[in-house]
Chains A and B, each alone.
Chain A
Amino acid sequence: MSIKRLTAFTLSAVFVAAACSSGGSSSAPSAAASSASGADCTVGMSWNNFQQPRWAAHDKPNMQKTVEDAGGTFIDADANLSNEQQLTDVDTLISKGADVLILLAQDTQAILPAVQKAKDAGIPVVAYDRLIEDSSVLYVSFDNVAVGRAEAEAILAKVPTGNYVLIKGDPGDPNASTFLPKGWDDAGLAAKVASGDIVLLNGPDGTFTDAWATEKAQSNMEAIIDKAVADGTTIDAILAENDSTALGVVGALTAKSYGYPPLSGQDGDPANLTNVAQGKQYVDVWKNANELGKAAGAAALALCGGADMASLALPAGLIDAAVAPDVLTVTDFVTPGNNTMNSFILKPTPLTAENLQLAVDGNQISKEDLCKGVDPASAPAACQ
């Protein structure tokens, strides 16, 4: 155990030196000896659907750079939304010599035969962004409950008491009905509703939005505004679960000339970031995919070197301090299927007008797009 721990630590040290070239923090004596494992390591990545622009823009380049900077080789394949194709892809990656696999599974269950195949071949597996129900897999993702918590924390800090509107996503999506609302309640929403500091205008469950559709969210919000006006109440704040619904809410507020009470969202969609810059949306909780890519790349290299999964730690300084503690260590994650997994869980970043620069720095949006239509007089720092 302790030897494995040491290996993990020294490996980490190598990656810090390689990836960041700042290098100062650690002085492990055996660093040079174990650096060979990085050079030998081939990391195989299977995407479920590479068409989504996010993967090519953020996840893949950072993952690839982390691996290649440490001297490893990066190969990948795209399953194009097909479970079957993904199983074939995993076979191909293994036969091409992958020493470790990173899987973005099309389906949390259908991927299991591929995981078994990897296990049989003695290849460690990393579940990337999306859960795989198998306790031998390392899960690297963002804390989805924390997304809801970050949304509510930002809005509650801005509007501690008053009338709230809750806009939720598709009623069939557990994120919409369970995880995000749990985060809201963890941040204090439930307590404040119980104490009467906050009044929920559209019922204790809020309003669901079929398929997270922007138009539907807009129609619902218009009815809620009409109701509030008819009742003679004001809307002080709006908790929207994600950006597509928040965009619909802004549409409704604009159509009704209601003004813009503090509004939440998540995803860091460019259109919504522009709304944040214009003061139409207060907070946009952003999952920085660049950092997720780096974390998975570093974790894969460590596993490649034979590190014990349960005691893995990511090198200091590799991940942006906004999304993870200085040295990110493996934590237990209990899945909905009651498996306990090893995991690296990153924190999402709440973006407001004050820290929009982070989105520009992270290549999420160009400064030009962000600041389109922003009134120079009230422009946030990122647009000046």
Chain B
Amino acid sequence: MTNVADAAPGQAGAPKRTSVRGLLAATEIDLRLFGMLVALGAILLTFNILSGGKFFQPTNMITLAVQASGIAIISTGMVLVIVSRNIDLSVGSLVGVIAMTYALVMTDWMPNVLGIAPDFPFRWVIALGFGVLLGAMIGALQGFIIAYVGVPSFIVTLGGLLSIRGVVWYQSNGAAVVGLDPNFQLIGGGAQGSLGGTITWLLALVGCVAIIWLIINGRRQRRRFDFPVRPMWAEVLIGGVGCLAVLGVAAFANAALWPEGLANRIAFEQGWGPTPEGGWNIPTGIPLPIVLLLGVTLVMTWMATRRRFGRYVFAYGGNPDAAELAGINTRWTILKTYVVMGILCALAAAIAAARLNGATLDIGVSYELYVIAAAVVGGTSFAGGIGSIPGAVLGAFVMQSLAYGLSFMGVNSPGQNVVAGIVLIVAVGFDTFNRRRGS
């Protein structure tokens, strides 16, 4: 990873150690993640140059992020599944069946069976509840068959891939179902499904404070237990860069404005008065699917690294026999990874259905491939025991930035697939090479 290390910023004021590698080690930055960030930046920069500076615009980056959000959310769960030496091929079909359920709940069941009026404000909560419950149940069933009956996960979820997609057909006789609840549609993002300027800034400030608090708290804890602490310059650097990055993203997102037509229409409907000179200029801020992704990433990372469940998953993946002998209820742990997967699929399905304002027979098709690709590009190893949730999210963004960028440049889908496949192999190959050299 020397090329990555060379690109590392800010070694100013370096005290005793002189090598770049040594300095990076002092900051305890995850080199893999850092390398992926650099790779992502390089991809975006390349597209920006190729498009003559038209690519790296706030609106475009928001589109890219929203398009990546569904895959990224599921990939956080796929990390746990792959780490525990299993696989889940059924995620695409699960997204399909849950998206169709959302659509049916809102267009058919609620008005016709449950008798809930169309203007009831919490229809989206009921729909989401249905979907999450369904996802968890299907996940639990698959997890049970894998963990307790002992059928290999590849087989169980391959069966799920086929049969659950078949169920989607029966739900609507193959027809698309459209016309969702307006509030539910906000989950899909768009100008109205975004936080807006003020809340985006507030969220960024909270994030900034949280970073600083985490650093201070971490340092205090390490002191208390006599753990080695990072040098002060590293702490300040990480806090400063982290804080600036969060605020920068917020500023960038707020530079995206509502489309003029929409702003004028809402202004007219709400009676805001005459259009000011130069248009309304309403900042969109961070879209809701990204907020959802952010929340999922935080919770999943916390579960994987700070909770017993997550530690058990990694322990089992590292050495199943040792984990079993250590008294871990491994079956229950495996089952739970699939329940988590089902819930994450329900969230991704909500984004997909909300974005489309409906569900089609083919929603979620081949998600399993993108999700697995995102997880392995993000450093999850099929040998088990190794994987990173933020890495998988970054992996999803790397893959989607290629797809979106090529699409933006007018490259057709066969070309996109060629590039995506090569990048997948190169990324994992590079990683394997590095690990071997490291060990």
Decide: A248 and B356 in contact? CB cutoff 8 A. Answer: yes
Chain B residue contacts of A53, Cβ below 8 A: 173-175
B221 sits at the interface (CB 8 A): no
Tell me, yes or no, whether B178 is within 8 Å of chain A by CB: yes
Question: Which chain A positions have C-beta within 8 A of B352?
Answer: 215
| Contact flags A26-52 to B (C-beta < 8 A → 1, else 0) | 000000000000000000000000011
A73 part of interface (Cβ distance < 8 Å)? no
Chain A residues with Cβ below 8 Å from B360 are 214-215, 244, 247, 271
Q: Does residue B342 face the partner (Cβ distance < 8 Å to A)?
A: no
Question: A259, B408: Cβ atoms under 8 Å?
Answer: no
Query: Are B357 and A214 closer than 8 Å at their CB atoms?
Result: no
Q: In the docked arrangement, what's the CA distance between A248 and B407, Å?
A: 15
- Check A255 against B189 for contact (C-beta < 8 Å): yes
Chain B nearest Cβ from A268, distance in angstroms: 11
A219/B259 in contact, CB under 8 A? no
A227 to B404, CA, bound (A): 11
Which residues of B have CB within 8 Å of A227? 54, 408, 410
What residues of chain A lie closer than 8 Å to B362, measured between beta carbons?
211-215, 244
Q: Give the residue name and chain of the A residue nearest to B408 (CB).
A: A223
Q: Which of B174, B259, B364 touches A256 (beta carbons < 8 Å)?
A: B259
Q: Answer yes or no: B153 CB below 8 A from chain A CBs.
A: no
Contact A255 B190, beta carbon cutoff 8 Å: yes
The answer, yes or no, to whether A210 is at the interface (CB within 8 Å) is yes
Q: Taking CB as reference atom, which chain B residue is nearest A201?
A: B410
Q: How far is the CA of A270 from the CA of B364 in the complex (A)?
A: 21
Q: Interface with A: B55-63, B125-133, B296-304, which one?
A: B55-63
Q: Does A196 lie at the interface of the complex (its beta carbon under 8 Å from any beta carbon of B)?
A: no
250-299 of chain A: CB within 8 A of chain B? 251, 254-259, 269-272, 274-275
Contact across chains for A254 and B414 when beta carbons are under 8 A apart: no
Most chain B Cβ neighbours within 10 Å, of A51, A218, A231, A251: A251
Q: How far is the CB of A138 from chain B (nearest CB, A)?
A: 29
Q: Is the CB of A171 within 8 A of B413?
A: yes
- A257 contact from B176, B179, B258, B358, Cβ within 8 A: B258
CB contacts (< 8 Å) of B358 on chain A: these are: 247, 251, 271
Task: Enumerate chain A residues within 8 angstroms of B174, measured Cβ to Cβ.
Answer: 52-53
Interface residues of B in 56-91 (CB under 8 A from A): 57, 59-60, 63, 66-67
Q: Mark B168-188, 1 if CB is under 8 A from A, else 0.
A: 010001111111000000001
Chain B positions within 8 Å of A270 at CB level: 175-176
| B412/A257 in contact, CB under 8 A | no
Bound-state Cα–Cα, A219 to B352, Å: 11
Within the complex, what minimum Cβ distance (angstroms) separates B44 from chain A? 14
Measured CA separation A98–B143 after assembly (Å): 52
Please count how many residues in chain A sit with their CB below 8 Å of the partner chain's CB atoms.
46
How far does the alpha carbon of A131 sit from the alpha carbon of B263 in the complex, in Å? 51
**Which residues on A sit within 8 Å (CB–CB) of B179?**
274, 372-373
Q: Which of A38-74 contact B (CB under 8 A)?
A: 51-53
A256 to B404, CA, bound (A): 15
Inter-subunit contact B259/A251 (CB<8 Å): no
In residues 93-147 of chain B, which contact A (Cβ within 8 Å)? none
Q: How far is the CA of A148 from the CA of B365 in the complex (A)?
A: 27
Docked complex Cα distance between A255 and B9 (Å): 37
Q: Which residues of A contact B67 (CB under 8 A)?
A: 219, 222
Q: Does B398 contact A (CB under 8 A)?
A: no
Given contacts A208-B414, A251-B355, A271-B358, contact A226 B59 (CB under 8 A): yes
Min CB gap B190→A, angstroms: 5
- A271 touching B175, Cβ below 8 Å: yes
**A257 in contact with B261 given A248-B356, A274-B179 (CB within 8 Å):** yes
B313 at the interface (CB under 8 A from A): no
Known: A210-B413, A226-B60, A230-B54. A215 touches B363 (CB 8 A): yes
CB atoms of A209 and B176 under 8 A apart: no
B261 close to A218 (CB less than 8 A): no
A134 CB to nearest chain B CB (Å): 30
List residues of B (172-222) whose CB comes within 8 Å of A's CBs. Answer: 173-179, 188-192
Query: Min CB distance, A224 to chain B, in Å?
Result: 8
Residue of B nearest to A243 (CB): B176
Distance A271 CA – B59 CA, assembled complex (angstroms): 29
B426 within 8 A of A: no
Q: Is there contact, CB below 8 Å, between A214 and B190?
A: no
Residues of chain A contacted by B262 (CB below 8 angstroms): 257
Contact B407 A223 (CB under 8 A): yes
CB pair A171–B63 under 8 Å, yes or no, is: no
Contact present for B412 and A251 (CB under 8 Å): no
Select from chain A the residue with minimum beta-carbon distance to B258: A257
Residues of A near B258 (CB, < 8 A) are 257
Residues of B within 8 A of A5 (CB): none
Cβ–Cβ contact B175 & A259, under 8 A? no
Shortest Cβ distance from B355 into chain A, in angstroms? 6
Nearest A residue to B260 via CB reads A257
Give Cα A205 to B408, complex, Å.
15
**Given A52-B174, A271-B178, residue A208 in contact with residue B413 (CB < 8 A):** yes
* Complex Cα–Cα for A57 and B380 (A): 49
Q: Are B407 and A220 in contact (CB under 8 A)?
A: yes
A272 to B176, CA, bound (A): 9
Distance in Å from the Cβ of B259 to the closest Cβ of chain A? 4
Per the 8 Å Cβ criterion, residues 313-338 of B in contact with A are: none
- Asked if B372 lies at the interface with its beta carbon under 8 angstroms from chain A, I say no
Chain B positions within 8 Å of A203 at CB level = 410, 412
* A213-B365, A216-B413, A223-B404 given; A255·B175 CB < 8 A: no
Q: Is B403 an interface residue (CB 8 A)?
A: yes
- Find chain A residues with CB under 8 A from B355 CB: 218, 251, 255
Contact A171 B412 (CB under 8 A): yes
Which of A229, A257, A275 lies in contact with B191, CB distance below 8 A?
A257
A13 → chain B closest CB, angstroms: 39
A214 touches B404 (CB 8 A): no
A222 touches B356 (CB 8 A): no
Assembled-state Cα–Cα distance A210/B176 (Å): 18
**Least CB distance, A54 to chain B, in whole angstroms:** 9
Chain B CB within 10 A, most for which of A207, A229, A230? A230
**In this assembly, does A202 line the interface, its C-beta being within 8 Å of a C-beta of chain B?**
yes
Question: What CA separation (Å) do A274 and B107 show in the bound complex?
Answer: 14
Residues B382-414 near A (CB distance < 8 A): 403-404, 407-408, 410, 412-414
Question: How far is the CB of A205 from the nearest CB of chain B, in Å?
Answer: 7
B353-381: which have CB < 8 Å to A? 355-358, 360, 362-365
Contact A271 B176 (CB under 8 A): yes
User: How far is the CB of B63 from the nearest CB of chain A, in Å?
Assistant: 5
Check B173 against A247 for contact (C-beta < 8 Å).
no
Chain B residues with Cβ below 8 Å from A256 are 190, 259
| Cα–Cα distance between A207 and B406 once the two chains are bound (Å) | 11
Alpha-carbon gap, A211 to B355, bound state (A): 19
Contact mask for chain A residues 171-209; partner B; CB cutoff 8 A; 1 contact, 0 none: 100000000000000000000000000000011010111
Q: How far is the CA of A269 from the CA of B173 in the complex (A)?
A: 12
10 contacts between A and B (CB under 8 A): A207-B407, A207-B412, A207-B413, A209-B413, A215-B362, A218-B355, A220-B407, A257-B262, A269-B175, A271-B177
Give 9 new A-B contacts, CB below 8 A, not counting A244-B176, A244-B360. A203-B412, A215-B356, A215-B362, A219-B407, A226-B60, A227-B410, A254-B190, A259-B261, A275-B178
The 5 closest A-B pairs by CB, nearest first: A257-B262, A223-B407, A271-B176, A230-B54, A251-B356
